[in-house]
Amino acid sequence: MSAGVPEPSGTATSDLTLDVDGHVAVLTLARPAKLNAITPAMALELRRLVDELNATRDVRCVVLTGAGERAFCVGSDVGELATYDSPWAFGNRSDYGDSLRALRLPVVVAVNGYAYGGGLELAMAGDVRIASSTATFSAPEIKLGWIGGSGQSALLAHNVGPSNAALMLLTGDPVDAAQALAWGLVSQVTAPEDLLPTARELAGRIAERAPVAAQTAKRNLHAAYSMPLDQAIRYERDLQTICFATEDAAEGRTAFAERRRPRFQGR
């Protein structure tokens, strides 16, 4: 942990909880009665927790999930949208997708039910997605007269291809977990009872890797989305050079020569 930086707390608010176990934190959207719809207060709290997680070296990977069996997240609480006094205020709100994308740590998303609208955007803001067999994914905003606003179109096109993205965006109809797996929207589908243990196990494996390298790999992947190939390769090589100079890289080489597990410190 960085000097003077507190360890992330075990709880956040009643609607958003953070549980830390070793190097893995589980962040849970906890409004199951409202299908984990996100209020403006929850969006602000998520931003605070992201800043807290970015400031500590204790947590190395985050699992994001929703409470209950019905929903991961159905996006913004529509009933709260009336609290914005103008479209300008709405457009300048604290966006939870932006907040999650600002998290430097790898994020494993465990989708346990509906991932609709902003919930779909939030899932795509993570790095690896695992779904329960009961999960469904939808961009339903078009049925209400608007479209998504947190990278929905761009992220869908990257994840499922332009035609499948158009199908979801123009109909607003849901896609089940099996179809999401076939399209590449998720990496794995599990039985409902196996979802969180599987996500935790994967997060634990990621947390065993060199933290600087893991965060750099995430940054490199995101940058590659918007770069031509030659620029992306040059950027990757620069990041590789930075990683190669770390104490963890030296430890990795030493551990390999000594045929033992490396002891990474995030330096």
Choice among 141, 236, 247, 251 that is catalytic: 141
Active site residue 141: yes
Active site residue 121: yes
Concatenating the DSSP letter of every residue in 149-199 gives -SSHHHHHHHHH-HHHHHHHHHH---EEHHHHHHHTS-SEEE-GGGHHHHH
Choice among 121, 193, 201, 258 that is catalytic: 121
What is the distance between the alpha carbons of residues 222 and 241, in angstroms, rounded to a whole number? 18
Is residue 174 within 8 Å of 137, Cβ to Cβ? yes
Catalytic residues: 121, 141
